[in-house]
Amino acid sequence: MGELYLLYDGLMAQSVHVLRHGQVHNPENILYGRQPGWRLSELGQEMAQTVGEWSKHFDVGAVLASPLQRAQETAAPLAAAHNLEIITDPNLIEAANIFEGKKFELGSGVLRHPGMWRHLTRPWQPSWGEPYDEQINRMLAALFAARDAAAESGPDKDAFMVSHQLPIWILRSAVEGRRLMHDPRKRECTLASVTSFHLNDDGIIEGVSYSEPAAHLLPEKKK
């Protein structure tokens, strides 16, 4: 894996909070990946509004988001709550995945499709999509860009970023020293959850915390 960087010279914000987007309108259960045009469902919109309201407890100086529609829609209430413009950062985009556009993904029927087996040979890379080290480094670049953008608004201001489950989980795994090859079913990164990276005065990520401000809206909780 390529070299990771946790040190950065520049302005400082206390924490960078990385929000996973809300639920997407996807009745056919397509793996949408980086495809454009996937919008939030009504429940996803409610999740975004909930997190926007919850975020008012923070002194926020910047809101960044993936260019994909579902992330932009999730970021909108957050930015409005703090009277900020959304900064679009391509580094926050979803991970590339060979199964994009299909009704199956790794762990949900891919073995029934022999033509896809060749993409399962190197799970530590992974062979079916964007290498983990590339995801980590672009997410770190986005994190530090968010921190700097927030600091331009004033000292010790936090930043929020809206991204996608896998890049968020891989970044957290790298920072916490966890192995990158993992069971996707065990990711702690639910819809509209917030993974917060806390930096010290030397520009080092010294801790990670996790919260679910929209937990009561998760589909399994609403049954």
DSSP of 121-184: S-TTTTTTBS-HHHHHHHHHHHHHHHHHHHHTTSTT-EEEEEE-HHHHHHHHHHHTT--S---G
Residue type, 127: S
Closest Cα partner for 85 from 68, 61, 55, 69?
Answer: 61
- Per-residue model confidence (pLDDT) at position 6: 47
Structural contact between residues 125 and 132, judged by C-beta atoms closer than 8 angstroms: yes
Instruction: Map residue 63 onto helix, strand or coil.
Output: strand
Structural contact between residues 196 and 219, judged by C-beta atoms closer than 8 angstroms: no
Strand partners, 198: 15, 207
Strand partners, 195: 18, 210
Kindly give the pairing relationship between strand 86-88 and strand 60-65.
parallel
Sheet holding 194-199, edge to edge: 86-88, 60-65, 158-163, 15-20, 194-199, 205-211
Domain coordinates in residue numbering, the chain: 15-26+39-95+131-222
Give CA–CA dist 10/56, Å, rounded: 26
Positive/negative CA dihedral, 62, 172, 71, 41: negative
Instruction: Map residue 220 onto helix, strand or coil.
Output: helix
Give CA–CA dist 64/160, Å, rounded: 6
Query: What stretches in the chain show pLDDT beneath 50?
Result: 1-12, 106, 110-111, 113-114, 116-119, 121-122, 124, 223
Kindly give the pairing relationship between strand 205-211 and strand 194-199.
antiparallel
- Per-residue model confidence (pLDDT) at position 219: 84
Level-2 CATH architecture, domain 15-26+39-95+131-222: 3-Layer(aba) Sandwich (3.40)
- Per-residue model confidence (pLDDT) at position 98: 77
Q: What is the pTM of this model?
A: 0.84
